[in-house]
Structure 1
Amino acid sequence: MHQRKSKKILIYFFLLILVGSINNNSINNLRLEKVKKINIFGLDENDQKILLDSLNNLDLKNIFFINKKSIQNIIENNSLVEDYNVIKKYPYSIDINIKKTNFIARINKNGKFLLVGNNGKLSNNSNSAIKLPYIFGNPEIEEVLELKKIIDQSNVDYSQIKSLYYFKSKRWDLELTTNIVIKLPEKIEKEILDKISIFLNNIKLENKEIVDARIKNQIIILDE
């Protein structure tokens, strides 16, 4: 009985050494590949390259120990990105799917016109072919986004707006492509814009006339 127990102990000891040897060898031979490829989808070729260069500067080690925060910071600081997701493709590549923001206007900042994105960020005016209204004045970007949201909810066609004028009183004027100027009240509501839209569709206005909707329940036509 004692001899049988000794044999079992010897066998277990031998198996322990064998398993330990296999694990040690596996660990010694394990070499984690560095991230070799980053695929970016949703941006044009030039914008992909700019973002890719920034990500490559991170010197990503391997896919198991990626610093997610550093990648997120670079992507979220890109003014073209509205939304995104990052997918690890084992063993050594990453896919980044990007929803590019839509540009809604041009604004003058320090003598330079910049594109206002629907994500609330400003981008260099590199694509002059985009037809967008110009913003004059110095509104907060959140105020621009709020105005655009209300216009989109109304029957006013945003594509027919040529310029947006912002005043220190936080009031807006809209200049249409027909050169008609609409003076809006300080508090803009969808219902007001709908009434203006109906009014414009039912009356023929001459070039450069002003539609004054600043007084509640009144729309006044003025000559410039």
Structure 2
Amino acid sequence: MQQRKSKKILIYFFLLILVGSINNNSINNLKLEKVKNINIFGLEKKDQKIILYNLNNLDLKNIFFINKKKIQNIIDSNSLVEEYNVIKRYPHSININIKKTSFIARINQNGKFYLIGANGKLSDNNNSGIKLPYIFGNPEIKEVLELKKIIDQSNIDYSQIKSLYYFKSKRWDLKFTNSIVIKLPEKIDKKILDKISIFLKNIKLENKEIVDARIKNQIIILDE
């Protein structure tokens, strides 16, 4: 038994020397190529170029020793990116698959309008063709995302909202494309919005009327 163990140890020892010799010779003769191709999918060409420019500035040496964190930082800094994955294609290519964020509203900050992405980031308001509601007031972006989430869970059609007004009390007013305004309570959830939705479907309202739902278990109709 002891002899078998000794033989195994000797065999492993010689294999280690052999593999080590092969690796050393291979490394000495191996010339690692620089990354030649970076392919980005999921964005328009003009947006791809911005990311490519920043990635090329990293001077990526070769695919085996890529600093993933630096690549992640560049992609994460782009406001259009919601999700992505990076795939190495040996010997010298990288594929980056991106899911572009969707935009949910426009907001004015310091006299300039921005697009709010579902990823919680602000983008330049370059695309005026997108039909989105305007936000007035100074909410935190996370508050906008939370409101959008609750509305999407309810029976209220977000696409019919023209404007959202935010107050310092952390309360919202919703103005619809038919000019009807809903005054929401400070604390809202799906049930409250569903009750308002049912009320709107069963009551014929004239344009520019206000639906006041701020008082618990009450809905009051007011003229503007």
Q: Same fold (TM over 0.5)?
A: yes
Identity of aligned residues (%): 83
Task: Report what 2:122 is aligned to.
Answer: 122
Which amino acid in structure 1 is aligned with residue 90 of structure 2? Y
1:28 deviates by 3.2
1:24 deviates by 5.6
Give yes or no for the alignment of 1:53 onto 2:53: yes
CA distance in 2, matches of 1:114, 1:128: 11
Which amino acid in structure 1 is aligned with residue 49 of structure 2? K
Task: Report what 1:206 is aligned to.
Answer: 206
Which amino acid in structure 1 is aligned with residue 208 of structure 2? K
Task: Report what 1:190 is aligned to.
Answer: 190
Task: Output the aligned Cα RMSD.
Answer: 1.5
Moved over 4 A (4+): 22-25
Instruction: Report the 3-state secondary structure (helix = DSSP H, G, I; strand = E; otherwise coil) of the residue aligned with 1:218.
Output: coil
Instruction: Report the 3-state secondary structure (helix = DSSP H, G, I; strand = E; otherwise coil) of the residue aligned with 2:205.
Output: coil
Task: Report what 2:66 is aligned to.
Answer: 66
CA distance in 2, matches of 1:154, 1:94: 42
Task: Report what 1:98 is aligned to.
Answer: 98
Task: Report what 1:37 is aligned to.
Answer: 37
Task: Report what 2:137 is aligned to.
Answer: 137
CA distance in 2, matches of 1:61, 1:36: 10
CA distance in 1, matches of 2:197, 2:216: 16
CA distance in 1, matches of 2:190, 2:23: 69
Which amino acid in structure 1 is aligned with residue 104 of structure 2? I
1:162 deviates by 0.2
Give yes or no for the alignment of 1:159 onto 2:159: yes
1:135 deviates by 0.3
Instruction: Report the 3-state secondary structure (helix = DSSP H, G, I; strand = E; otherwise coil) of the residue aligned with 2:129.
Output: coil
Task: Report what 2:147 is aligned to.
Answer: 147
Task: Report what 2:172 is aligned to.
Answer: 172
CA distance in 1, matches of 2:132, 2:184: 20
Instruction: Report the 3-state secondary structure (helix = DSSP H, G, I; strand = E; otherwise coil) of the residue aligned with 1:40.
Output: strand
1:45 deviates by 1.1
- The 1:215/1:55 distance shift into structure 2, 3 A limit, reads same
CA distance in 2, matches of 1:23, 1:104: 55
- The 1:23/1:96 distance shift into structure 2, 3 A limit, reads closer
* Residue ranges of structure 1 left out of the alignment (5+ in a row): 1-15
Which amino acid in structure 1 is aligned with residue 107 of structure 2? I
Instruction: Report the 3-state secondary structure (helix = DSSP H, G, I; strand = E; otherwise coil) of the residue aligned with 1:60.
Output: coil
Q: Could you state the TM-score of these two structures normalised by the residue count of structure 2? A: 0.89
1:204 deviates by 1.3
1:189 deviates by 1.1
CA distance in 2, matches of 1:218, 1:35: 65
How far does the alpha carbon of each residue in 1:133-166 deviate from its partner, in whole angstroms, 9 at most, with x for none?
Answer: 0000000000000000000000000000000000
CA distance in 2, matches of 1:114, 1:25: 58
* Residue ranges of structure 2 left out of the alignment (5+ in a row): 1-16
Q: Could you state the TM-score of these two structures normalised by the residue count of structure 1? A: 0.89
- The 1:39/1:205 distance shift into structure 2, 3 A limit, reads same
1:202 deviates by 1.2
